[in-house]
Amino acid sequence: MTQIATPRERLLKTAAELFYAEGAAAVGVERLCKAAGVSKRSMYQLFTTKDEVIAESLRTYGPATVAGYFPADPKAMPARERILHVFARLEEQSAGPAFHGCPFVNTAVELHDPRHEASVVALSFKDRLEGYFLEHAKAMGVADPAFLAARLTMLFDGAAVRAVMRAEPLRGVALRAAKQLLGSEV
């Protein structure tokens, strides 16, 4: 038996999809509520502000976004390959018509306020990615794993922006750059 989504669940799922595709500022409360099949009154009973919806939609759907870049069975590959897997997934995603870059970077850039709750949530997810890179850089035994992790995160973010700005797939540039960066460390 399928469980029917609650108004809160519908709002958050719709918000995550619309904010990613069109931007949080471009999607008004009225449109969000209509698309989610929830009244504005119900939304404001569930969330104090639209800003709260933005933050909570990232918090709720962010883990799946991040997990989608990591290998399903990381123990099955060496640390270097685990890092490269992230860039291979980015390459694959950039080729799809629904790719709009990194939802965390998009949100933080659009909001222009590092103290905004959604920006704080977005940063926490970027920190998870950098932490993933750091863990595997340490496993590789590189001299400065924190610096490598920061550069890999910058490469990921820059590659995602490139794909969006050029409206074209990465065509191997992110993966090749990651390999070059990792090659210079070992």
Q: Which CA distances in Å does 178 have to 28, 91, 94, 185?
A: 38, 11, 16, 11
Q: What is the reported pLDDT for 1?
A: 59
Lowest mean pLDDT, pick from 1-5, 19-23, 69-73, 86-90: 1-5
Query: What is the mean predicted confidence (pLDDT) over 148-156?
Result: 98
Query: What is the mean predicted confidence (pLDDT) over 71-86?
Result: 92
Q: What is the reported pLDDT for 75?
A: 84
Residue 6, pLDDT above cutoff 70:
yes
Spell out the domains of the chain, with CATH numbers in brackets.
1-62 (1.10.10.60), 68-186 (1.10.357.10)
Q: Is the overall model pTM greater than 0.85, yes or no?
A: yes
Q: Which of 9, 51, 13 is nearest to 29 (CA)?
A: 51
Please state, in angstroms and rounded to a whole number, the distance separating the CA atoms of residues 123 and 119.
6
Percent of the chain with pLDDT over 70: 98
Q: In this predicted model, what pLDDT tens digit does every residue of 15-54 receive, in sequence order?
A: 999 999 999 999 999 999 999 999 999 999 999 999 999 9
Q: What is the reported pLDDT for 115?
A: 95
Q: Which CA distances in Å does 68 have to 17, 65, 89, 129?
A: 16, 5, 8, 11
Q: In this predicted model, what pLDDT tens digit does every residue of 110-144 receive, in sequence order?
A: 999 999 999 999 999 999 999 999 999 999 999 99
Please state, in angstroms and rounded to a whole number, the distance separating the CA atoms of residues 59 and 121.
6
Please state, in angstroms and rounded to a whole number, the distance separating the CA atoms of residues 180 and 22.
34
Residue 4, pLDDT above cutoff 80:
no
How many Cβ atoms are within 10 Å of 72's Cβ, its own excluded?
7
SS3 for 110-123 is HHCCCCCHHHHHHH
Contact 32, 14 (CB under 8 A): yes
Mean confidence (pLDDT) of the chain: 94
Q: What is the reported pLDDT for 2?
A: 61
User: What is the C-alpha R_g of the chain?
Assistant: 18
Residue 185, pLDDT above cutoff 80:
no
| pLDDT band, residue 186 (cuts 50/70/90) | low
